[in-house]
Amino acid sequence: MFKSVLSKASRVNANLVIYRRIRVKSALSRSSLPDLDYALNPYIGCFHACSYCYARGYVGRYVDAGRSWGEVVYIKENLVDVLKVEAKRFRAGVVGVSTITDPYQPIEAELGIVREAIKVLLNSGFSVSIQTKSDLVLRDIDILKRFIGRVDVGFTITSLNDDLIRYVEPRAPLPSLRVKALRRLSSEGIETWIFYGPVIPYINDSDDDVNGILELAKETGSKVLIDKLHVKPWIINSLSGALSQVINMGSALKILNKDFINSWWSSFKGKVIKKCR
């Protein structure tokens, strides 16, 4: 019963989120992330409500989207029109879709904002790097196949364990669905990658976790990006609550200590590098 209800909610349940429409003056923003020139964020806030997500601290004046993470999502309703103008003015480069939200929010299935946006970008000479937790990206496989060599798709896969991950990613599509989508895109010749992060001690850092991710990467020809948990003040309450359902409170509090995380990360990173040799 528990799993069934959550799986249904992860697809679409409009009652779980308030959508608010806004109009924006810009679509693209400069990005300081590696290998990206621009960022495109069609939404503010995120339905997935991941307890570790520090993007809630970067919502600007839309503070309710950050404070009530997963409960309020802003839709940039005129984003595509603005993007069409900017695509003619801006120098072509690599656009990250997206960097502070998941571009494939459940409402995207109805609105198609991302689909139209990536069409504009690719037809204007830009390259597109998508990062998502949603298999909804398969809807746009026809576009992605037409621009092989200028598109890549990364899936955030924090664990292959569907049951475990529900505690920290309560409304995101199940990892098993992401894996199927990753395999499908890879089989179509689209460049794929896996974002294994954040890696959280005692939660998703076991040998089984690491080996499973690396085997999946090898199978699909995907590169793997790994990142540690970034402890920010605004995630402590939500993350500690989620962790306490899986491990004892003493371990949960240890995880929220930056010094502990940094020490653990050095050891964990070495273990992963050794496995990759």
C-alpha–C-alpha distance, residues 204 and 168, integer Å = 11
Question: Maximum distance among all alpha carbons in the chain?
Answer: 55
SS3 label, residue 226: strand
- How many structural domains is the chain composed of? 1
Proportion of the chain in helix, strand, coil states, percent, rounded to 5 = 45, 20, 35
Provide the pLDDT for residue 236: 83
244 DSSP assignment: T
SS3 130: strand
3: tokens are 């799993």
| pTM, rounded to two decimals | 0.91
> What is the extent of the structural domain holding 169?
2-276
Residue 218: Cβ-neighbour burial (10 angstroms; 0-12, 13-18, 19+): exposed
**DSSP classification of residue 92:** P
Q: pLDDT tens, position by position, for the chain (277 residues)? A: 222 223 333 344 556 899 999 999 999 999 999 999 999 999 999 999 999 998 887 777 766 665 678 889 999 999 999 999 999 999 999 999 999 999 999 999 999 999 999 999 999 999 999 999 999 999 999 999 999 999 999 999 999 999 999 999 999 999 999 999 999 999 999 999 999 999 999 999 999 999 999 999 999 999 999 999 998 888 888 888 888 888 887 888 888 888 999 999 999 999 999 998 8
**According to the model, what pLDDT value does residue 133 have?**
98
pLDDT at 6: 30
> Residue 30: enclosing H or E segment and its boundaries?
strand 28-30
Kindly report the CATH number assigned to the domain that includes residue 91: 3.20.20.70
C-alpha dist (Å) from residue 48 to 11, 13, 134, 148 = 10, 11, 10, 29
Contact criterion met (CB below 8 Å) for 176 and 141: no
Structure tokens, 239: 């993350």
Question: What is the 3 state secondary structure string of 152-221?
Answer: EEEEECCCCCHHHHCCCCCCCCCHHHHHHHHHHHHHCCCEEEEEEEEECCCCCCCHHHHHHHHHHHHHHC
- What are the distances in angstroms from CA 94 to CA 38, 88, 114? 6, 15, 16
- Block residue for tokens 């798709």: 153
C-beta separation of 199 from 269 below 8 A = no
Q: What's the CA gap between 14 and 28, in Å, rounded?
A: 28
Q: Are 40 and 98 in contact (CB under 8 A)?
A: yes
